[in-house]
Each structure stands twice: as structure tokens, then as C-alpha cells.
Amino acid sequence: MSSVAQTKAPPHARILVVDDEALITGALTRALTSLGYDVAAASTGHEALTALQSWPRDVMVLDLALPDMSGVEVMARAAQVCPGLLVIVLTGQAELDDAIAAVKYHAVDFLLKPAAIEQITEAVVTALRGQARRLQERVALRILDEAIDALQGIDRRPRVVRTAPPAPMLHVPPLLLDRQEQTVVVAGDNPRTCKLTQGEVDVLAALMARPGQPLSARELAAAGLGAQEDEKVMRGAIVHCINRLRSKLEADPNQPRLIRTIRGAGYQFEPIR
């Protein structure tokens, strides 16, 4: 028997499964119901938002490819309708921009299709466990802070830290990256200009800012998000983004010279003068 099957569902946990594939919603609904959850299903973004408005949920399992609106739009509107909702993203393609949006709207997991039903149910159980643990930690830290303030009279009001915005142009031969225009010029015998997505700009800028130093998938994601996120949410999307960058920048993407894979460490930008 699996560890998920042995796990008791938190009391009154309510799940919303959003996917336009009836086989997936049916299988997930049966599996999650068998664990003791209150489960509802929706096949479109509008159905999902209507369900959240009428009966708030604890977890939403969301397919990003819906027939009426993007999964990112559903996440954005769901965050307003149901604050604190835990989102588990399902996607058929590991796009970095989708992964960034998922983290922006506090997705707790990012699963690639086809994902096993047991993998998805385990993600739901883990998300709910984590929610309870984080709540306990926040309460404990608040009580501790208040006690320290009372004893020491420390002013713990938040202070605004102002940082300079990143330079719009970044030049590390043979590349000249324009953050604002989202383009990069590749110098050499046959110079060319390549158009990039915002996610590709963030990843490339992070690599160029630390030439000769390996960066992990988590560090590359943090460069674009400004926070240290769970690496498993981003790993597949970062790999996909690196492959796209190589196809645009490298003379031979199969034998990259600019963006090298460092086994066990991540990726490294190698300047070529």
C-alpha cells in the first residue's frame, strides 16, 4: 500500500480539480474522494472561478491549457476570489514563463503531464501538510518576536530597502543583452540579433552576470523571481529555457560553448573574446 493511501486527509479539506479532460478529472476525483477529501471538478476556467466563488477551496489542481482562458489568468483571478488557495499546476509543456507565473501566484507544485494519479494525490497531501506546518511556524515566530520585543524594547517595524534597478544593457563578449528590448546581439564573424522571451532574458542575464561560475536551476529561477523557490517547481522549465537559449545563441546547440552544463552544479556562461 502506498504512503498516500495510508495518509489521513486533513478534516474538511476541499479540493477543486480543473481540467478539460474528463478521464483526468474523473480519475482524480475518485482518488481524492477515497482519501476523505471533499472534491469538485471543473472543465473550464469560468467553471473553476464560479466554483471558487460559491464555495472556497483549500487546494486547486489546475491544468494550464483550458479551452476558454489560460491557466495563468485562472490563477490570477483565483488569488483574488480565494486568498490562501494552494495551487498545484499541471502542464504538458515546461515553459519557464508559465513556471514563473505559477510561483508568482503561489503555486506549491508544478507537475508535467502525463503525471500519475498517485503523484498528483501525493502532491495534494504534501501541500496540505505544508500549509499546516507553515501556519504553526508563523504563529510560533510571531509569539517569539512579540516576547523579544517586550523584553528588549526592540523596534521591529519593517524598513524599506531601496536597491538600484538592474542596468538595461549587459555586455559580456560575445553577447550584448538588452533587457528592455528583450534582444541579444551575438558578435563574431556572422553577428546576429536574437529576440528573447522575458524568461529567457532573466536566465541569460543571471548567467552573464556571473561568467565562469555555475548556477543551479534554483539560483537561475531566483534571479528572475527575486526569491528562493523550491527547485522542483522550476527544474524542468529551466532545462527547457536553457535549450531554447542554446538554439538561438550557439553555433552548434548540441555542442554548446557559451552555456555549458556543469554536472551536479547547474549551468555556466563562458565568455568568448
pLDDT digits over 41-97, tens only?
A: 999 999 999 999 888 888 999 998 899 998 889 988 888 888 778 888 888 766 667
DSSP 8-state assignment for residue 167: P
What's the number of domains the chain is made of? Answer: 2
Do 111 and 200 fall into the same domain? Answer: no
- 155 inside domain: no
Do 198 and 116 fall into the same domain? Answer: no
Report pLDDT for 138: 47
Residue ending a domain, among 101, 131, 161, is 131
Report pLDDT for 234: 66
**CATH code at position 245:** 1.10.10.10
Give bridge partners of residue 162 from the DSSP assignment: none
- 112 inside domain: yes
- 252 inside domain: yes
pLDDT band for position 133 (cuts 50, 70, 90) = low
**CATH code at position 49:** 3.40.50.2300
Report pLDDT for 230: 54
SS3 per residue for 78-133: HHHHCCCCEEEEEECCCCHHHHHHHHHCCEEEEEECCCCHHHHHHHHHHHHHHHHH
* Whole-model pTM over 0.95: no
- 94 inside domain: yes
**Distance from chain centroid for Cα 124:** 16
Residue ending a domain, among 112, 131, 150, is 131
Report pLDDT for 26: 92
Do 89 and 28 fall into the same domain? Answer: yes
d(CA 175, CA 258): 9
Report pLDDT for 43: 94
Tell whether the model's pLDDT for residue 3 goes beyond 50: no
Do 220 and 117 fall into the same domain? Answer: no
- 258 inside domain: yes
- 7 inside domain: no
Tell whether the model's pLDDT for residue 152 goes beyond 80: no
Range of the domain at 47: 14-131
Do 119 and 188 fall into the same domain? Answer: no
pLDDT band for position 119 (cuts 50, 70, 90) = confident
206-239 tens-digit pLDDT: 999 999 999 988 888 776 555 555 555 567 677 7
Do 204 and 253 fall into the same domain? Answer: yes
Tell whether the model's pLDDT for residue 140 goes beyond 50: no
Report pLDDT for 198: 81
pLDDT average, residue stretch 202-206: 90
Judged by average pLDDT, the poorest of 2-11, 32-41, 217-226 is 2-11
Report pLDDT for 18: 95
